Structure 1
């Protein structure tokens, strides 16, 4: 009994779905003038041939004892392929170098491809307090790690509370104005992306209470253990 046309079509679609699931796109970010390093998936056999392509066009090729390591087009003179590992390095990256990079190892195209994406360095961040008149009399306040991140994404945000460790979170941090939170002297934030990172200047805790003579009116001066109960919400 011959399989029906519907069954054959289903089999083809399932095979295509499996291949699509196995395909993997790796986003590789770079800034102008930097060096891009692309690593192929490891192979068990000894490498005897490597072919790299950019947007389907030949970039570099090498076949042991047949074709010497050769680079093509604008990649010549600023690229290097390690024939032992297949790793490709491209120096002095330009905006024109964005695109999809693929590799064949031992005549086998790898399912993973590399999407090269140009991004900017993150800006110098600044902590913005909202509302501007935030103080100890308000129930809560909001701190925002601000800066122009256009063309700098993806960006990660980190916050430093007092002299504590950096903690990864979101762009916005809400201060819950409890007594323990008022013990914190300073806040600062940091932006980070795959090509850079920068931190803000520290700002004074807007909800910190002071006495008439300007000293901090806070239990934490005599009870450091209370610092563990600081209330913030990301």
Structure 2
């Protein structure tokens, strides 16, 4: 254990910078996924059939391919048509896009759990469809979906390691770089594992407290 401490002390600035970058990728991709997930869920529920078919096809395409393949496509293939993204932007975009598809399913489930009587009551008050969604349905759906969204955030934290493949200096990439210099592979990967475990525990505790505070009695979605 003393060797782990010594290695951390020697490379603490590099590791902490990598941790910050990992968290930036995680939270930005989650935010993109949150906005995209709501948009996809609403579009699949309220747009004409041809558009629904296109959106559904897109969802199935993303769900049916590994996230790392999507990252490679965005980072390596898009430059061939003039779209070149740096490793950070490509990683955030790929993870956000993937997350949006999965979050859209969570939102569909949460929106579907809102009783139809609430929609009807809101319409009877003269609210438009947008007004019903913004003021009645989505606020409740968010509270219902918190357990699933919490899981998604934790998944994204761990999936952020795929940015290693495009040379983004997040935790795994930085750890490998340090290990290649010091040959302290066990110590470095032990430190990285501890980082992930601690951050996951902190996020889980915060999200559980938020879930309890905002939960709707009698309406809930269990964590996976």
- TM-score w.r.t. the length of structure 2 is 0.26
Higher strand share: 1
Structure number, greater radius of gyration: 1
> Larger RCO: Structure 1 or Structure 2 (Cα < 8 Å, ≥ 6 residues apart)?
2
TM-score (norm 1): 0.25
